[in-house]
């Protein structure tokens, strides 16, 4: 779809007159009329009601009104996108794309530090992008992000060495215990406090198919695999493919794993049938490793800033 055709439609929509719009655009009225007909044909709906029925000018159809409102917003943002793209191309601005974890204390702290970084590095633009369905490090290596959190269960020293071999620089950012959510009267929960790894192995742990939101459960399952343990993993299709959708589903005798920050979500706390427990076992503490590609000079500089900021706090 030609951006020029959208721009011409926006001018027409303001005037709702082919002649006045053509005059502003410095093109002929027949040319503008043809461009609008081509745009309607490409979209597949009528945007302009030409059946005047006594009116002295054409008007926008209902679809046209909607398209005008949304395209106006798009056009405004598109100009900003173009300017941003040109600035990056001129090397006057550097883009830092951070993978965003939902409802997570590590992410909350990184927001704060990145805000300080942005205020002192005007040439850099920090953006947050939702995690794709790929593992974070894979997405980082595929250049979908510049900065990611690698979530790792257990001792992380070996993981840092593994990432170094992939030419990924990683530093420990935050360590937290696992938190499990479960529904009231779950038959597998014998006691609500002091849960250990051995207790978890007998409890079905819910995993979603193709979702990136249950990163804590993925880290736990990977730890068990490395230790030769066999956890009870159960796949579930949530009501909708969002973090809240997972937790608002019925998971009956299984448990969902998450971070302590999720406990504060008001949508989940409103459910009287949900309970949570902290897993009190240092063997499976979850480490959030901040990771960047070692050859990405800008991302490495950002990581150094983060480390220094946390050290001087």
Are residues 27 and 10 both part of a single domain? yes
Residue ending a domain, among 39, 56, 89, is: 89
CA distance 128 to 120: 18
Are residues 275 and 295 both part of a single domain? no
How many domains does the chain divide into? 3
Residue 194: left if φ>0, alpha if ψ -120 to 50, beta else—which one? left
CA distance 303 to 145: 14
Give yes or no for a contact between 263 and 182, defined as CB atoms under 8 angstroms apart. Answer: no
DSSP secondary structure code for residue 285 in this structure: P
Query: pLDDT band for position 243 (50/70/90)?
Result: low
Instruction: Using the predicted structure, report yes or no on whether residue 170 has a pLDDT greater than 70.
Output: yes
Are residues 259 and 183 both part of a single domain? yes
pLDDT of residue 258: 84
At 169, is the secondary structure helix, strand, or coil?
strand
CA distance 254 to 200: 11
Among candidate residues 144, 171, 146, the one with its CA nearest the CA of residue 296: 146
Are residues 162 and 257 both part of a single domain? no
pLDDT of residue 254: 86
CA atoms within a 13 Å half-sphere pointing along the CA-CB vector of 123: 10
Mean predicted confidence (pLDDT) in 288-313 = 93
Mean pLDDT of the chain: 85
pLDDT in tens, 50-85: 775 545 678 888 898 988 888 887 776 776 666 666
Are residues 106 and 229 both part of a single domain? no
Are residues 146 and 166 both part of a single domain? yes
What CATH number does residue 8 fall under?
A: 1.10.10.10
CB neighbour burial string for 268-291, b if at least 16 within 10 angstroms, e if fewer: beeeeebbbbbbebeebbbbbbbb
Instruction: Using the predicted structure, report yes or no on whether residue 92 has a pLDDT greater than 60.
Output: no
What CATH number does residue 111 fall under?
A: 3.40.190.10
Are residues 187 and 209 both part of a single domain? yes
**Residue 214, φ and ψ in degrees, nearest 5:** -95, 50
pLDDT in tens, 77-91: 776 666 666 665 655
pLDDT in tens, 93-116: 678 999 988 778 999 999 999 999
CA distance 182 to 60: 53
User: What is the span of the domain harbouring residue 66?
Assistant: 3-89
pLDDT of residue 55: 55
Give yes or no for a contact between 124 and 255, defined as CB atoms under 8 angstroms apart. Answer: no
264 sits in which H/E element: none
């Amino acid at each position: 779809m030609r951006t020029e055709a959208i721009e011409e439609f926006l001018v027409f929509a303001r005037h709702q007159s082919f002649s006045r719009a053509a005059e502003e655009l410095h093109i002929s009225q027949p040319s503008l009329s043809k461009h609008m007909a081509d745009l309607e044909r490409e979209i597949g709906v009528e945007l302009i009601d030409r059946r005047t029925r006594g009116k002295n000018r054409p008007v926008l159809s209902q679809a046209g009104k909607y398209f005008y409102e949304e395209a106006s917003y798009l056009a405004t943002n598109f100009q900003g996108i173009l300017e941003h793209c040109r600035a990056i191309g001129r090397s006057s601005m550097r883009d830092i794309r951070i993978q965003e974890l939902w409802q997570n204390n590590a992410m909350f702290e990184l927001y704060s530090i990145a805000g300080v970084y942005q205020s002192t590095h005007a040439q850099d633009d920090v953006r947050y992008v939702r995690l794709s369905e790929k593992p974070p490090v894979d997405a980082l290596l595929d250049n979908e992000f510049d900065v990611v959190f690698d979530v790792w269960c257990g001792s992380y020293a070996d993981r840092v060495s593994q990432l170094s071999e992939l030419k990924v620089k990683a530093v420990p950012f935050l360590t937290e215990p696992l938190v499990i959510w479960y529904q009231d009267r779950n038959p597998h929960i014998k006691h609500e406090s002091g849960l250990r790894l051995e207790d978890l192995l007998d409890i079905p742990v819910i995993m979603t198919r193709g979702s990136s939101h249950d990163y804590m459960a993925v880290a736990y399952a990977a730890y068990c695999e490395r230790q030769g343990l066999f956890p009870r993993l159960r796949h579930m299709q949530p009501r909708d493919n969002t973090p809240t959708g997972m937790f608002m589903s019925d998971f009956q005798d299984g448990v969902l794993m998450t971070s302590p920050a999720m406990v504060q979500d008001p949508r989940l706390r409103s459910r009287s049938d949900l309970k949570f427990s902290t897993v009190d076992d240092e063997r499976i503490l979850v480490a959030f490793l901040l990771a960047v590609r070692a050859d990405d000079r800008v991302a490495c500089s950002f990581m150094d800033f983060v480390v220094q900021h946390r050290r001087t706090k």
